[in-house]
Amino acid sequence: MLNDLMSYMTEERLLELLDRYRSFGPLPGILLTFLKSFVPPLPTLLIVGVNAAVYGLWAGFLYSWIGLVAGCMTTFLAVRAAAGHRIARRWAEKPKVQASMSWIRRNAFSYVFILSLFPVGPFVLVNMAAAVSRMGIARFFTAVAVGKGIMVLAVSYVGHDVGRFYRDPLQLLYVLLFVILSWYVCKRIEAKYMKAPEENKTGTLPA
């Protein structure tokens, strides 16, 4: 079934699908990106690019961003709630898992934010690791919202009019500079506002 779904995910079929259900407004575009958090093989680049092509740059960006962030938050909150289960606690007590969780706690914001910048990657595992390590909800949302926002805007900008990059390849340099600048700005924000002294002392994160 998954193979059938993946074979269906071509640019032409996605364009046809979104055009057919355009009467439902932004829901099809949001739902496609929302499903990415539960069906990892779905092609993020293709879906986000097609959203921008169908809905326009800014509307496509917004719908893709809402869907991706909502999917990440749903996965994170579900795993976070289940992390208190006896089996999950026993698994988390293993030395190797404890070492990994300790590292994630110290680098939680950067870990989630940087991996959110990439359009391909183990998004489900990132969300689950952050949840099991008890990363704060507000911190997780901020890291995902900003990271996904940068990634989606860059992909939407490319997908909105792919032809111009063939005509002027140097425009890709602007996308790269935008990502680098955004990463630097967010690191400054993290250093100033996101690092709580209590976290550094106790090694735990607020709920």
- pTM for this predicted structure: 0.72
Asked whether the predicted pLDDT for residue 8 surpasses 60, the reply is no
Side chain identity at 144, as an amino acid letter? V
Evaluate whether 45 touches 154 at the Cβ level (below 8 Å): no
Q: Which residues contact 33 (CB under 8 A, 6 or more apart)?
A: 44, 47, 48, 51, 63, 64, 65, 66, 67, 68, 71
Q: CA angle, corner 159, sides to 154 and 164, nearest 5? A: 100
Most confident of 15-19, 102-106, 195-199: 15-19
Which residue has better confidence, 43 or 184?
43
State how far the Cα of 37 lies from the Cα of 15, in Å rounded to an integer: 21
pLDDT band for position 43 (50/70/90)? confident
Segment 58-79 shows an average pLDDT of 93
Segment 175-183 shows an average pLDDT of 69
Asked whether the predicted pLDDT for residue 21 surpasses 70, the reply is yes
| List of E strands, 36-87 | none
